[in-house]
């Protein structure tokens, strides 16, 4: 490990960046260095700009993917190398605003019915029942289930924050059946490696298998269940601030985007077409007059 990489890792650890973020930043900076075959501390804003053009035009990466590389390089040059030009000379690409694709309650049921593994069904059910991120669901411990208070503890979710969410009675029943069959010790959903929780990739693969079996045409990932959780609560009239608390959103604006896809918001509005009087059938067009 080079001294520069070691220092960057230490800088990220000091600031308590998430493990996934640290791995991603190191990978992005390594790719940048390999592209020019030169250490990043020997390069400046022109090389960064050239690399951004390469990612967009040669690699055809989406703006969201380029943003990850930009964030990593900004951290390297601003924090680790303390270059004053870093924030100004590394522009962040504008991300297109996209609304999530929302599963209906019936589609959620079809998806869960298509999961054949008890463990995989339990973890996907937990993601929907409590609105958990995939990383939060995979890192649930047996001790996080509080059946007395009917709450789930989310330990160090996104932003290194703890929170509690409701424990659905149906989810509790499912988790108890799973626990009696699997007898997990520490991690509620252990992975293939001893002492480690199930990986996000394993959950994603299980979700894709269920997606294919369900016959649902919409795109689905495990995060789709979190989107469905928020939207279905909104459609039932739950206050948006309460949903923000349950989902662990830092900003209310992140939660309010679900107002744009909730049927209670969109379908409650009457189209002006429905306010018009009855429209008669089309009339046959008159023959065009002859011109000579």
CATH of range 105-219; options 1.10.645.10, 1.10.443.10, 3.40.50.720, 3.10.150.10: 1.10.443.10
pLDDT given for residue 292 in this prediction: 58
Query: Does the pLDDT of residue 284 top 90, yes or no?
Result: no
What residue spans define the domains of the chain?
Answer: 3-89, 105-219
226 is catalytic: yes
Catalytic, out of 74, 121, 133, 211: 133
Catalytic, out of 5, 78, 223, 257: 223
Query: Does the pLDDT of residue 273 top 80, yes or no?
Result: no
Catalytic, out of 158, 163, 209, 257: 158
Query: Does the pLDDT of residue 159 top 80, yes or no?
Result: no
The residue-averaged pLDDT of 74-86 equals 93
Catalytic, out of 74, 121, 232, 249: 249
Q: Mean pLDDT in the chain?
A: 90
Q: Say if CB 128 and CB 229 are below 8 A apart.
A: yes
CA 247 from centroid of its chain's CA atoms: 12
158 is catalytic: yes
Per-residue pLDDT tens digits for 227-249: 999 999 988 888 888 989 888 88
Tokens of 235: 């459609």
Catalytic, out of 51, 77, 128, 258: 258
Element (H, E) at 151: strand 151-157
pLDDT bucket at 277, cuts 50 / 70 / 90: confident
Q: Say if CB 222 and CB 203 are below 8 A apart.
A: yes
CA distance 86 to 73: 8
Fold of 3-89: DNA polymerase; domain 1 (1.10.150)
The residue-averaged pLDDT of 251-264 equals 79
CA distance 50 to 29: 14
pLDDT given for residue 79 in this prediction: 95
Long-range contacts of 97-101 (CB under 8 A, 24+ apart): 99/257, 99/260, 99/261, 100/224, 100/227, 100/257, 100/258, 100/261, 101/218, 101/219, 101/224, 101/227
pLDDT bucket at 286, cuts 50 / 70 / 90: low
pTM for the model? 0.71
């Amino acid at each position: 490990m080079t001294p520069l990489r070691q220092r960057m890792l230490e800088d990220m650890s000091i600031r308590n960046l998430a493990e996934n973020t640290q791995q991603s930043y190191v990978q992005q900076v390594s790719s940048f260095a390999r592209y020019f075959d030169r250490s990043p501390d020997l390069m400046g804003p022109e090389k960064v700009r050239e690399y951004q053009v390469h990612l967009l035009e040669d690699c055809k990466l989406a703006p969201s993917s380029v943003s990850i590389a930009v964030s990593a390089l900004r951290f390297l040059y601003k924090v680790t190398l303390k270059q004053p030009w870093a924030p100004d000379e590394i522009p962040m690409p504008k991300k297109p605003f996209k609304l999530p694709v929302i599963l209906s309650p019936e589609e959620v049921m079809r998806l869960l019915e298509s999961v054949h593994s008890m463990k995989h069904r339990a973890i996907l059910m937990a993601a929907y029942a409590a609105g958990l991120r995939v990383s939060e669901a995979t890192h649930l411990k047996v001790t996080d289930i509080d059946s007395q208070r009917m709450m789930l503890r989310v330990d160090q979710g996104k932003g290194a924050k703890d929170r509690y969410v409701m424990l659905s009675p149906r989810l509790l029943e499912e988790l108890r059946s799973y626990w009696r069959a699997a007898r997990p010790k520490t991690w509620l959903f252990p992975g293939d490696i001893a002492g480690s929780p199930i990986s996000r990739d394993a959950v994603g693969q299980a979700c894709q298998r269920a997606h294919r079996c369900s016959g649902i045409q919409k795109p689905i990932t495990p995060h789709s269940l979190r989107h469905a959780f928020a939207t279905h609560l909104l459609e039932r009239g739950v206050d948006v601030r309460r949903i923000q608390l349950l989902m662990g959103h830092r900003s209310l604006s992140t939660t309010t985007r679900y107002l744009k896809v909730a049927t209670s918001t969109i379908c409650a509005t009457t189209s002006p077409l429905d306010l018009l009087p009855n429209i008669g059938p089309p009339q046959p067009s008159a023959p065009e007059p002859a011109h000579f």
